[in-house]
Amino acid sequence: MVGLSDAEKMQPGVLPLMAECYGMLRRPGDAGEAYARASDVDSGNLEYATQAAAWLEKADRKDAAKRYADRAKRLADAAEADK
């Protein structure tokens, strides 16, 4: 899966599968980075930001995890305000 283009990695189902594989390989930082890249490309995607924060936290990359957790909170707050 690492040979896929960035666009292919963002197709439905691909990114979660990649993260799951990285998790099984005990490489949560790689899973976090994959979601972080996706979140940076699609900064309005709550799931990408949430998953980036969660995986980066597992990798003990607290500063990066906080950055994506803050993004996820802003997105969730905006979605709630739109209701």
**CATH number for 25:** 1.25.40
Residue 18 domain-assigned (yes or no):
yes
For the chain, the maximum distance between any two Cα atoms, rounded to a whole number of angstroms, is 40
CA distance 20 to 26: 10
Q: What is the pLDDT of residue 17?
A: 95
pTM of the full structure = 0.92
Dig out the tokens for 58 from the structure. 């597992």
pLDDT interval class at 12 (50, 70, 90): confident
CA distance 12 to 83: 26
Residue 3 domain-assigned (yes or no):
no
Q: What is the pLDDT of residue 74?
A: 97
Residue 1 domain-assigned (yes or no):
no
Residue 75 domain-assigned (yes or no):
yes
Domain count, the chain: 1
CA distance 43 to 68: 10
Domain containing residue 49: 8-81
Dig out the tokens for 46 from the structure. 């709550």
pLDDT (tens digit per residue) in 21-77:
999 999 999 999 999 999 999 999 999 999 999 999 999 999 999 999 999 999 999
Dig out the tokens for 70 from the structure. 């803050």
